[in-house]
């Protein structure tokens, strides 16, 4: 399970890097321009990245919860037909 968590963190980290790179490309920000970003711009960018990270973590958490709920639902007893109930009753007698 720990290995899965590390794998998910790697995936979310790479997704965030792609997102940031895409934002830079859309706004024509090159390597040289990155260095000249104001502190306010850098802080806003950090906030966007942190927000995205929180959304990814929440999605992963909800996904895990749904996976854990499915086996519990499968363990519920099957509905038996009247014919099966009658057969079972005859076997018990």
What's the whole-model pTM score? 0.43
Identify the pLDDT of residue 52: 86
Q: What is the pLDDT of residues 37-93, one digit of tens each?
A: 788 988 998 898 888 888 888 888 888 887 776 665 555 567 778 888 888 888 877
Could you identify the residue written with the tokens 């940031």? Answer: 20
Identify the pLDDT of residue 76: 52
Q: SS3 of 38, please?
A: coil
DSSP 8-state secondary structure symbol assigned to residue 76: S
Identify the pLDDT of residue 10: 81
Could you identify the residue written with the tokens 């509905």? Answer: 79
């Amino acid at each position: 399970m720990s290995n899965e968590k590390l794998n998910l963190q790697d995936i979310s980290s790479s997704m965030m890097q792609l997102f940031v790179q895409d934002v830079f490309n859309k706004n024509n920000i090159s390597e040289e321009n990155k260095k000249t970003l104001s502190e306010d711009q850098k802080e806003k960018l950090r906030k966007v990245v942190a927000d995205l990270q929180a959304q990814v973590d929440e999605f992963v958490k909800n996904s895990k919860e749904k996976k854990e709920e499915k086996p519990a639902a499968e363990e519920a007893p099957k509905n038996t037909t009247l014919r099966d109930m009658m057969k079972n009753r005859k076997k018990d007698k």
